Every structure is written in structure tokens, then in C-alpha cells.
Structure 1
Amino acid sequence: MKLLAFDTATDACSAAVCCDGASVHRYAVAPRGHTALLLPMIEAVLAEAGLRLGELDGIAFGRGPGAFVGVRIAAAVAQGLAFAADLPVVPVSTLAALARQAWRVHGAQNVAAALDARMGEVYWGAYRATAAGDVVAVGDERVCPPAAVPVPAGDDWVGIGSGWDACTEALHAVCPVRAQLRDAQPHALDVAVLGGLRLARGEGVAAEHAQPVYLRDEVAQTLAARAAAAR
């Protein structure tokens, strides 16, 4: 399996190529720098892997949730490259990629991933890691206030993502975790592995169906509008 993957859904920008079990990658934390960084990163990892775009089996990208502009950048680049090379695309959850990072780096089996969604909310998803290096969702991903997150059963959970930094006390009040992994951001290596597993299961889609996932229906909804809608 030869797969290109990238993620720009948070302040981190990363790209990776996985080829027959080996991988090369680039990673940088560069808020508002994704547009300038992503394509050079992609060119660099393909060159280091000795592959041309047309030799790949597919493209995986972090489809969100996350920063709206960043998620759109990744989806647009994935579509453009896939159209050009006639490749299938695998959209991979940013939250799932974070959960797999917790397993890959720290061996965490049960992971509660949360990203800061602003406006007093978090993007939330709970996952269990498998022996194959996949992560399986426990319930649906959602965007909600910390007090409303769906708490998974059990007490052996590890928290990861910017939501745990932004809303530490509120999240701990409803979902105590045994450890909290700070300063973690999604990495293309995890997007690549999850994308490869999904592509092998036939879950790749045509380029035109590679869509971002925001979780919020209204991208630019104000606090006032949200308060009015809640009444």
C-alpha cells in the first residue's frame, strides 16, 4: 500500500507517505501558514519516498472537525491531487487521528479526543484502539459544551487534544481521565495509517466525494445567534 496523507485541521501542518510499512513525514506548527507549507511538504515526502503521485494507491486527508479554513485546505488539495492522478480518497477524522496518536506514542487503549471548538464548545470523540493499530469510535463525534459531552463507560480513559487544555476543569468534571496528553496535535502519520486501513476495506471515495466535516451546521454562527436558538 502506497498512500499519501496530510492534515491541516489545527495549528499543525503535516504530510506523510506510507509505503509497504515504511514512512516519511514532515510536520510543523505554523498557525495560518498551511497554504504556503502544505504543497512543499507533499512534494518533499513524495521525493524522499521515491514516488510519483500516479504511483500511489490513494490519498488520505484529515477531514475535520477542526479549524474551518484548515479543513477546507486539506479537502481542496486532496480533491485536486486525486482528480489529477485518478486516485481514490480516504477522508479521516481528525479526532480519530488524535486518538491513534495517543495509542502510537503512549500506548493508550481508551482515548477521549477533544479539540477546542471556540464559543465555549469542544469537538468530541471517544475511541478504543485495536491490536491492528486502528481506532474504533465509541458513539458519535459531536460539537457541544464540555458539560454535555457523552461520557464513555469505564474509568481507564486518556484525554488528548486542545479541548482538554482549553476546558480542563469542565471536561474533568464530567469525564475524569487517568492522564491528559498536552500539546498534542493531529499528525499525518496517523491519518496515513487509518487511511490505509480504510482503503483496504474498500472505504475510499471518488475525489468529488471527498468532503470536509465541520460538525457545526453554521460556520460563522455568533454567540448571540446560538443563545437565541437555544431559547
Structure 2
Amino acid sequence: MKILAIETSCERGSIALLTDDTVLNKELVGQANHSNHLLPEIRALLAEAGTLVGELDAIAFGSGPGAFTGLRLACAAAQGLALGAGLGVVPICSLAALAMQGEGARVFVATDARMNELYYAAYERCPSGLRTYQAPRCAPPEAVSLPDGQWCALGSGFAAYPDLAERWPGRFFQVEPAVVPRAADVARLAVLELQRGAALAPELAAPLYIRDKVALTTAERLARGGRA
């Protein structure tokens, strides 16, 4: 199986080409430059592997939640490439891709959503990959909830709000704040979705926003302790 994957939900984006058990990947640094370099980097990655877009089984992308511009870029690139080659598209939750890097049976992920909020979710490993234990949500740090049990914690949310891990003493056996979603894991999760027949027609693919607002009003910023 051959899958091209795109993950640009945060500043450290990446692309990957999964061919059976082999993954060829490339990191994309700098959110502002993703739009300038994404398609050329994809062409270079496919050329390095000696693969044409038409030889792929599907194109996957990290659907979010994350930076709105990055999500739209990944979705549009996946749609454009898939339409031209007659392929299906597989949207993969970026929080689930992030959780793939966790240790142990249960992984809690939290990423910085800006605007004094976090995106967060919880996952449990199962024979078919990951099971969603707590669906992705968006909330201020003080409103984040942690399911019962012991968890591996990942994501930029723990860097943006260091006291988050201290709210539940002894509940996290590992905290990794520098970890970001990777295209390679988007591709691995896409394999499972393809096996379930979950590929979409390109025009049906869409980002997973969770939060529709991209900015707060002055009053909302002040209410959350920010500046006018």
C-alpha cells in the first residue's frame, strides 16, 4: 500500500510517503513557509521514491485541530492531488497522530490552541490501532478534564501551560511537551482507515476545526486576563 501524508497543523509540519512497512518522510519548518514549499517538497519526496501520484492508493492529511491556515493548506493540497489522480482522501485527526508517539496503553494529548485555550483528547491503544477515549475538545486550561487512570502526556499544551501537568499529581507517568504530530503517523493511521473503507471523495474532505472562531474580541481577551 502506498499513501502520501501531509501534516501542517502546527509550525513543525511534515510530509511522508508510506510504502508497505517503509516510510520516507521530510520535515517542514516554519508555518509561514508551508504554503510556499509544500507542493515542491511533495514533488521532491515522490521523485526521491520514484513514485508517481497516480501510483498511490490514497492521500491522507492531518485534519486538525490546529492552526486554521495549516489545516486548510493540507486539505486543499490533498484534494487537489487526489482529484487530479482519481484517488480517495483520508482525513486523520492530528491529535490522534500525536498520540501515536506516546508510551503505554493510554495517551493524553494537549496542544496550544492560542487564545488562552487548548485542544485536547485522550486515546487508548487497541489491536486495531487507537480507540478514542475522550473526543477532541477545545477549552481554557482550567477547564481541561483528565479521565481516570494513568496517562502518558504529549503536546505543546504542556509547554504553553507548564502547570497543567501539576494539576493531577501522579497521574502522568511521562510528559513530553516538545512532541508534535507527524505525517508518518498520519499515514499509518490512514492505512487502518483504508482497510475499513473510510476513504472520502476529495470534495468531501474537510478540516476538523473544533473551534470556529479565529480571534477573540477585546472584551473576551480582557475577560480571560489578556490585554486589550
TM-score scaled by structure 1? 0.90
5 Å-filtered alignment, 1:74-113, equals 74-102=74-102, 107-113=103-109
Residue 204 of structure 2 corresponds to which residue in structure 1? Answer: 209
Residue 6 of structure 1 corresponds to which residue in structure 2? Answer: 6
Alignment check: 8 A CA contact 1:24 1:48 kept: no
Structure 1 Cα separation of the partners of residues 212 and 168 of structure 2? 25
Is 1:51 the equivalent of 2:51? yes
Q: Structure 1 residue 95: deviation in Å?
A: 0.4
Q: Deviations over 1:96-148 (max 9, x none)?
A: 0100022xxxx33211111101121100010112345x221112110001222
Q: Structure 1 residue 213: deviation in Å?
A: 1.1
Q: Structure 1 residue 39: deviation in Å?
A: 1.2
Q: How many residues align?
A: 222
The unaligned stretches of length 5 or more in structure 2 are 224-228
Alignment check: 8 A CA contact 1:147 1:171 kept: no
Structure 2 Cα separation of the partners of residues 85 and 31 of structure 1? 27
Amino acid at match of 1:47: A
5 Å-filtered alignment, 1:1-231, equals 1-102=1-102, 107-131=103-127, 134-155=129-150, 157-174=151-168, 176-222=171-217, 224-225=219-220
Q: Structure 1 residue 223: deviation in Å?
A: 5.6
Q: Structure 1 residue 26: deviation in Å?
A: 0.4
Alignment check: 8 A CA contact 1:119 1:223 kept: no
Structure 2 Cα separation of the partners of residues 53 and 29 of structure 1? 24
Question: Cα 1:39–1:219, aligned 2, differ >3 Å: closer, same or farther?
Answer: same
Return the structure number with greater strand share: 2
Alignment check: 8 A CA contact 2:157 2:177 kept: no
Q: Structure 1 residue 174: deviation in Å?
A: 4.5
Amino acid at match of 2:21: G
Q: Determine what percentage of the aligned residue pairs are the same residue.
A: 44
Tell me which moved more, 44-53 or 185-194.
Answer: 44-53
Partner of 1:9: helix, strand, or coil?
A: coil
Q: Structure 1 residue 150: deviation in Å?
A: 2.7
TM-score scaled by structure 2? 0.91
Amino acid at match of 2:156: S
Alignment check: 8 A CA contact 2:165 2:172 kept: no
Structure 1 Cα separation of the partners of residues 60 and 214 of structure 2? 24
After TM superposition, which residue ranges in structure 1, 4 or more long, deviate above 3 angstroms? 225-228
Alignment check: 8 A CA contact 2:15 2:28 kept: no
Structure 2 Cα separation of the partners of residues 222 and 21 of structure 1? 48
Question: Cα 1:179–1:224, aligned 2, differ >3 Å: closer, same or farther?
Answer: same
Alignment check: 8 A CA contact 2:28 2:34 kept: no
